[in-house]
Structure 1
């Protein structure tokens, strides 16, 4: 299951991600926001991150206008490794090398087509399990 969170700046892109998840029959839980009305991203980013940290969701995807603020919020939650990605190479490498459990994107930075490619890459790339990466992830924790 994928935890989702966005603010008003990420709302439209989050709806595109929901469409992708439905198409791929991937379960998700949307922690808000519910519209384009101005709101504060920490509430929604934290809720999605806490669901991942508690094991209620396997992965999380959070979106705001730049992806920066909401990624910072997610990374404040113990056990979260949230990577801000704006290309598929970063999405692949953060899964392979960092075992990232959350993806952040900036709706004002990446378009919908690229964003869905990033999501697809992130969700379908396994952690490499290489000893050097295992060691580094443990050091992060």
Structure 2
């Protein structure tokens, strides 16, 4: 089986989450869906926390969080100590992984079209962390944020 991706959304990101789950499974990934199960209004921090905790517990997993804008999910995941990146294009997704070792991709369904969102997802998943000088900078993030 392939790598495991943990995914969550709120009501504002639910439709894109469904598209991502189908696509990820077609691409050979194992998907853990942390909810929600429908379009009823819900609170994004609860779902961001579920995904962030699973990613934090297992270095082999990556996460995806989707809400209306991506902002709230990004803030919540970062607050929980997981590097999460709100990406609005493929270059940002590539740099978030290669330079910052982002473990969670955040997107806004209401601001990013489905085609672009899928391209961002693909780039995020295909890009590996560059290490070396970038690791030194990540270590500094952990040092200065204490």
Shorter-chain TM-score tier: over 0.9
Question: Taking structure 2 as the reference length, what is the TM-score of the superposition?
Answer: 0.92
Q: 1:63 to 1:57 in 2, by over 3 A?
A: farther
Structure 1 residues 1-141: aligned runs within 5 Å: 1-55=4-58, 58-78=61-81, 80-129=82-131, 131-141=132-142
Q: Please, what is the CA RMSD of the aligned residues? A: 1.0
The 3-state SS of whatever aligns with 1:29 is: strand
Q: 2:17, 2:25 → 1: CA distance?
A: 12
Counterpart-to-counterpart distance in 2, 1:128 and 1:62: 23
Alpha-carbon contact 1:45-1:74 (below 8 Å) kept:
yes
Conserved in 2, the CA contact under 8 Å of 1:95 and 1:125? yes
Give the secondary structure class of the aligned counterpart of 2:99.
helix
Unmatched tracts of structure 1, length 5 or more: none
Change (3 A) 1:121 1:49: same
* Counterpart Cα distance in 1 of 2:14 and 2:85: 19
TM-score (normalised: structure 1) = 0.95
Q: What is the aligned residue count? A: 139
Corresponding residue SS for 2:41: coil
Q: Following TM superposition, by how much is the alpha carbon of 1:57 offset from its aligned partner in structure 2, in angstroms? A: 5.6
Structure 1 residues 55, 34: CA separation in 2 closer, same or farther (over 3 Å shift)? Answer: same
TM-superposed deviation, 1:25: 1.2
Unaligned runs of 5+ in 2: none
Deviation at 1:76, TM superposition (A): 1.3
How big is the shift at 1:22? 1.1
